């Protein structure tokens, strides 16, 4: 049994090394690194002075898998990013600083109660530089713009966009290595919909795949599971929450339990595609807690009680550890 | 030779019927149909009175191909929608009414010179309902909001969003059948990046494809070519322009010529991925005209001269036909 485990873990390490070695290099990694280090340094003071002393990395939206090197086609994982954006707001309210690692173009924090295309839909011009917000959107729009600006300017919200699975995993690794300095005060809230399969960069077609000659057969290989290495090597003391989304309710909790054990998560949040905005189940090694949206209010969401519960669990985790410095 | 052609065309008709029969039904088709008919009726008056007498359907952005019926994963075709959005502005300037069939979330007309995320980035609040546009964006933002509103309110711009290949082709068919009333005054400017391959709805996994058991093999079949049937049946007199995008310059013009002949397009616009914002080639049965962006101006784009050229060619086409009532 031990030898099987050992073999499996060795295979995974080789797969992970090969994934990162073969990935196209991250474009702005120096800048991202600088911003990250500043953000972590700023928010690692032990208490008070308007800074946070807990930092959460919220991942949000789906990753893409390019099918061609000069990318025209790719496989995408559907996710509006609503959960990550909304959770970011509640984490800020709960006193966390947030690194928001999000898919370009998905939902942004503070924009939940605003129409699609707000830029074109919400404003009217009164003169050359004064725009009037249409009455029905006024409060939501003002709150969105002001709260968003305040969080960014006060150094409590760092937004980092990604598109491909290669960018996502490289950035997650950078963030985790940087957040490792925070020890158990760091949290990962991994709500992004990460591709399970990818086409290795080397085996990818350089040019656009041509149509016109019958069906297209594709072989995708599994993306190596990074959660285990995040827990074991990148940030071993950080509090880790991952998500399990299934469309088939029957296998959902079973898969959540498996993920908890396999990747040594502290929490797995289980959610089913059709009911995910109403209910989630918080799965830990000894509990399964159903969390519901407050149905007595129209504008409530399930992220509000979920983040309260998770912040509490993170507090309990911190209290359970031997006192640090 | 004739019998081969005949067989091929029969196969295509069966494929097209089967594609539409198996597609999930369009959700808001009654509403779309009403809006379309009103728009066409409004813009088919022969001249004057502020209405257009030429209508172009501009398609824009990429289509998705769902890989699961309860869609979590899909294949996407990359397209920012920049060309379609920008072309829509120039068509409006040239006196066309525009049906803008666009992928949700892609570029919108009048928003070209505005930063990403303008809603959160461009405004500051002065009081509860007055927002001030930041100086450096003031002119672009005001122009965007005012011109967009004017075009929609004057009934010259109808925006119809799609996401999947199923939605796109069903809506294109509805538009074409409705635009057929305009005869040669209708134009199709098919700039959308349409998937070449899809997974037929019936053969699609109902639930999320499970990872954890080795590589994933997928077989995609070709999307039936709708251009031929658009030309032949849906709107035989409309002026049709399609696009050919390749990453490999060597095969680009050859493929453009083939598309021109095979689908009986009036024009194929050939563009290469890396230079598509600087140069395109307008291919007709007897010409290949290179069109360049005006490099003496920073804010120029290739769509400006392209739409002028195409509107002129459409005029020539109209003049060449036997006089209609």
Q: Are B207 and A128 an interchain contact pair (Cβ–Cβ within 8 Å)?
A: no
Per-residue b or e along A277-308, where b marks 16 or more CB atoms closer than 10 Å to that residue's CB: eeebbbbeeeeeeebebeeeeeeebbbbbbbe
Q: Are A125 and B108 an interchain contact pair (Cβ–Cβ within 8 Å)?
A: no
Please report the pLDDT score of residue B4 as a whole number: 40
Mean pLDDT on A147-161: 93
Question: What does the pLDDT look like over B77-126, one tens digit per residue?
Answer: 878 899 999 999 999 999 999 999 999 988 999 987 777 667 777 777 77
| A140: β partners | none
Q: Which residue of B has its CA nearest to A72?
A: B78
Please report the pLDDT score of residue A37 as a whole number: 94
The C-alpha atoms of residue B146 and residue B139 are separated, in whole angstroms, by 11
Burial class of B121 by CB neighbour count within 10 A (0 to 12, 13 to 18, 19+): middle
Question: What is the distance of C-alpha B110 from the center of its chain?
Answer: 16
Beta-carbon-side half-sphere exposure of residue B209 (alpha carbons within 13 Å): 24
| A55: β partners | A97, A186
Q: Which residue of B has its CA nearest to A134?
A: B129
Question: What is the distance of C-alpha A163 from the center of its chain?
Answer: 12
* Confidence grade of residue A205 (pLDDT, cut at 50, 70, 90): low
Mean pLDDT on A190-195: 94
Please report the pLDDT score of residue A3 as a whole number: 40
Residue A115 has pLDDT above 80, yes or no: no
Question: What does the pLDDT look like over A263-297, one tens digit per residue?
Answer: 999 999 999 988 999 999 999 999 999 999 999 99
The C-alpha atoms of residue A88 and residue A98 are separated, in whole angstroms, by 7
Question: What does the pLDDT look like over B189-217, one tens digit per residue?
Answer: 999 999 988 887 776 666 666 666 678 77
Q: Which of B216, B259, B263, B271 to probe by mutation at the A interface, max A CB count within 10 Å?
A: B216
CB atoms within 10 A of CB A325: 4
Number of domains within chain B: 1
Residue of A74, A131, A138 with shortest CB distance to B133: A131
Instruction: Give the position of tokens 């809603």.
Output: B119
* Range with the poorest average pLDDT among A305-309, B248-252, B261-265, B299-303: B248-252
Asked if B89 and B157 touch (Cβ cutoff 8 Å), the reply is no
Mean pLDDT on A170-191: 96
Residues of B in contact with A209 (CB under 8 A): 196
Q: Is residue B146 part of a domain?
A: yes
Asked if A142 and A133 touch (Cβ cutoff 8 Å), the reply is yes
The C-alpha atoms of residue B44 and residue B53 are separated, in whole angstroms, by 5
**B294 or A250, greater pLDDT:** B294
Summary mean pLDDT of chain A? 87
Residue of B73, B124, B195 with shortest CB distance to A78: B73
**A32 or A112, greater pLDDT:** A32
Burial class of A221 by CB neighbour count within 10 A (0 to 12, 13 to 18, 19+): middle
Q: Which residue of B has its CA nearest to A274?
A: B70
Residue of B129, B195, B217 with shortest CB distance to A217: B217
What ipTM was assigned to the predicted interfaces of this complex? 0.71
Q: Is residue A1 part of a domain?
A: no
Q: Is residue B117 part of a domain?
A: yes
Residue B131 has pLDDT above 90, yes or no: no
Q: Is residue A325 part of a domain?
A: no
- Transcribe B269-288 into DSSP letters: EEEEGGGTTTEEEEE-SS-E
Residues of B in contact with A137 (CB under 8 A): none
* Confidence grade of residue B3 (pLDDT, cut at 50, 70, 90): very low
Left, alpha or beta for A110 (phi > 0: left; psi -120 to 50: alpha)? left
What are the residues whose beta carbons fall under 8 Å from the beta carbon of A267, sequence distance 6 or more? A240, A241, A242, A260, A282, A283, A284, A310, A313
What percent of chain B stands above pLDDT 70?
A: 87
Q: Which of A29, A18, A313 is nearest to A160 (CA)?
A: A29
Question: What does the pLDDT look like over A118-144, one tens digit per residue?
Answer: 777 777 777 766 777 777 777 888 888
| A241: β partners | A189, A267
Q: Are B208 and A248 an interchain contact pair (Cβ–Cβ within 8 Å)?
A: yes
* Confidence grade of residue A2 (pLDDT, cut at 50, 70, 90): very low
DSSP helix/strand/coil, A142: helix
Mean pLDDT on B47-75: 81
β-pairing, A130-133 vs B130-133, is antiparallel
The C-alpha atoms of residue B143 and residue B204 are separated, in whole angstroms, by 45
Per-residue DSSP letter, B302? T
Residue-range definition of the domain harbouring residue A37: 27-209+219-320
CATH number of the domain within which B143 lies: 3.40.50.10300
**B201 or A252, greater pLDDT:** A252
The C-alpha atoms of residue B25 and residue B177 are separated, in whole angstroms, by 17
Please report the pLDDT score of residue B10 as a whole number: 56
Please report the pLDDT score of residue A322 as a whole number: 84
DSSP helix/strand/coil, B256: helix
Which tokens go with A77?
Answer: 């994982």
Q: Is residue B1 part of a domain?
A: no
Q: Which residue of B has its CA nearest to A208?
A: B247
* Confidence grade of residue A4 (pLDDT, cut at 50, 70, 90): very low
Residue A48 has pLDDT above 70, yes or no: no
Residue B9 has pLDDT above 70, yes or no: no
Q: Are A119 and B124 an interchain contact pair (Cβ–Cβ within 8 Å)?
A: no
Question: What does the pLDDT look like over A63-78, one tens digit per residue?
Answer: 998 887 766 788 888 7
Please report the pLDDT score of residue B58 as a whole number: 98
| B282: β partners | B269, B289
Asked if A84 and A220 touch (Cβ cutoff 8 Å), the reply is no
Q: Helix crossing, A303-320 with A82-93: angle to 10°?
A: 60
Residues of A in contact with B246 (CB under 8 A): 207-208
Q: Is residue B226 part of a domain?
A: yes
Run of H or E residues at A149: helix A138-153
The C-alpha atoms of residue A221 and residue A198 are separated, in whole angstroms, by 5
First-residue to last-residue Cα distance in chain A: 39
Residue B70 has pLDDT above 90, yes or no: no
β-pairing, B197-198 vs B216-222, is antiparallel
Asked if B222 and B90 touch (Cβ cutoff 8 Å), the reply is no
Q: Is residue B2 part of a domain?
A: no
The C-alpha atoms of residue B145 and residue B149 are separated, in whole angstroms, by 6
Q: What are phi and psi of B219, to 5 degrees?
A: -115, 120
Question: What does the pLDDT look like over B160-183, one tens digit per residue?
Answer: 999 999 999 999 999 999 999 999
Q: Is residue A6 part of a domain?
A: no
Please report the pLDDT score of residue B204 as a whole number: 67
Please report the pLDDT score of residue A10 as a whole number: 55
Burial class of B295 by CB neighbour count within 10 A (0 to 12, 13 to 18, 19+): exposed
């Amino acid at each position: 049994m031990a030898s099987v485990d050992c073999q499996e873990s060795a295979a995974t390490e080789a797969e992970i090394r090969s994934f990162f070695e073969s990935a196209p290099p991250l474009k702005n990694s120096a800048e991202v690194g600088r911003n990250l280090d500043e953000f972590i340094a700023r928010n690692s003071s032990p208490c008070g002075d308007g800074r946070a002393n807990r930092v959460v990395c919220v991942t949000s939206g789906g990753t893409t898998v390019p099918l061609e090197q000069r990318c025209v086609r790719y496989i995408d994982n559907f996710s509006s990013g609503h959960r990550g954006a909304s959770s970011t707001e509640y984490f800020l309210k709960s006193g966390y600083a947030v690194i928001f690692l999000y898919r370009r173009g998905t939902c942004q924090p503070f924009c939940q109660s605003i129409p699609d295309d707000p830029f074109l839909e919400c404003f009217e011009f009164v003169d050359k530089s004064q725009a009037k917000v249409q009455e029905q959107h006024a409060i939501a729009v003002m709150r969105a713009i002001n709260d968003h600006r305040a969080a960014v300017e006060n150094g409590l919200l760092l937004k980092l966009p990604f598109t491909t699975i290669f960018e996502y995993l490289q950035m997650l690794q950078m963030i985790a290595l940087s957040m490792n300095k925070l020890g158990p005060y760091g949290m990962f809230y991994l709500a992004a919909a990460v591709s399970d399969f990818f086409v290795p960069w080397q085996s990818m077609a350089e040019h656009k795949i041509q149509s016109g000659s019958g069906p297209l057969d594709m072989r995708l290989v599994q993306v190596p599971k990074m959660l285990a290495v995040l827990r074991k090597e990148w940030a071993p003391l950080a509090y880790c929450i991952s998500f399990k989304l299934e469309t088939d309710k029957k296998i959902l909790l079973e898969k959540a339990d498996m993920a908890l054990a396999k990747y040594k998560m502290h929490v797995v949040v289980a959610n089913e595609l059709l009911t995910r905005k109403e209910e989630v189940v918080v799965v830990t090694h000894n509990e399964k807690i159903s969390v519901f949206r407050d149905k007595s209010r129209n504008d409530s969401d399930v992220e509000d009680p979920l983040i309260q519960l998770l912040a509490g669990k993170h507090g309990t985790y911190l209290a359970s550890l031997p006192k640090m410095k």
